[in-house]
Amino acid sequence: MTKQTWVVHQSFVGLLYEDGAFSRVLGPGKYEFAQPLFGKRVDREVKMVEVRERSLTIKGQEILTRDKVAIRVSLLVYFKVEDAAAAIHNVAAYEERIYEDVQLAARRFLAGRDLDAILSDRNEISDAVRLDVRGTAAGYGVSIIRADVKDLAFPGNLREIMNQVLETERRGEAKLIEARREAEALKIKAEAENIASRTRVEAQKEQIKLTAETERERVRVKLAGEIDEALAVRAHPELLRLRELSALAEMARNGAKFVMGLPVDKGLLLGEEKR
């Protein structure tokens, strides 16, 4: 009895064929198949299919955008074989089929977009291609994990124009940042001046308030003193005479002259002779 032996390594599966017909999928491991001593011999074959995640580069292809600009785009596609039997049996070469499907999907998407829209969001290209190809690839047992834009090239004159645009945008952004910085500095300065002005006004108001309160207190004290003095004079009239004498003494010290005399009979002043 003769034996046939195959080893399926990790990250691969084996497709077992017997007499040319697909029999079953072999997982990682070692397999031995014996041939009968008598009778018909079975012709066996095992095809290895890699099932781990891999990448495929879709080289640059020139595509005309909707606004008639020729661009060249390269994509990097990440895929994984989910159904090895379908990948081998449903298409002639699944990697070549992935290449063609992604290429056509990118062409369909870019041909329906203007250059500005393409440049504004490169991730949109990746998402659109992945969604477009995902359903088709599932039909031959392959899962499209993601599709990224690897390179996006333009004609020489367009590249120069774009560089000039980018340089202009950078200068504009720099001026905008500088203008914002100056505006912020002016705002801070204005706020500081406003705070200082409010502080000065508050200080002036406080000073006026203190002055008014001091004046009110002085008037109150003076008025209270005058009231007390008036009450004292009312209670003791002789105090008024003392104040008069004190005033006359003060006037005399200052050099003032005045005549003081005795009471005169009014009749003598009128020339009447006393009998």
For the beta carbon of residue 115, count every other beta carbon within 10 angstroms: 18
Residues 116 and 66 in one domain: yes
Domain-located, residue 20: yes
Nearest to 110 by CA among 131, 126, 98, 97: 126
Domain-located, residue 268: no
End-to-end CA distance of the chain: 197
Residues 105 and 188 in one domain: no
Residue 69 lies in domain: 54-154
Residues 14 and 63 in one domain: no
Residues 136 and 63 in one domain: yes
CATH code for the domain in which residue 141 is found: 3.30.479.30
Domain-located, residue 14: yes
Domain-located, residue 223: no
Here the tokens at position 249 are 């003494």
Task: Tell whether pTM > 0.75.
Answer: no
Domain count, the chain: 3
Domain-located, residue 21: yes
**CA 163, 168, 174, 177 torsion-angle sign:** negative
Residues 58 and 19 in one domain: no
Give how far Cα 27 sits from Cα of 40, 161, 209, 272, Å.
27, 56, 96, 166
Residues 131 and 204 in one domain: no
The last residue of one of the domains, among 193, 216, 239, is 216
Written as tens digits, the pLDDT of the chain (275 aa) is 678 999 999 999 999 999 999 999 999 999 999 887 777 889 999 999 999 999 999 987 788 888 888 888 899 999 999 999 999 999 999 999 999 999 999 999 988 888 888 877 778 888 899 999 999 999 999 999 999 988 888 766 565 656 566 677 778 888 888 888 888 888 898 888 889 888 888 888 888 988 888 888 888 888 877 777 777 767 777 766 776 777 777 777 777 665 555 455 545 445 554 44
Residue 183: helix, strand or coil by DSSP? Answer: helix
Is 116 in contact with 71 (CB distance < 8 Å)?
A: no
Give how far Cα 223 sits from Cα of 4, 145, 220, Å.
131, 98, 5
Residues 150 and 93 in one domain: yes
The last residue of one of the domains, among 109, 129, 154, is 154
Residues 91 and 137 in one domain: yes
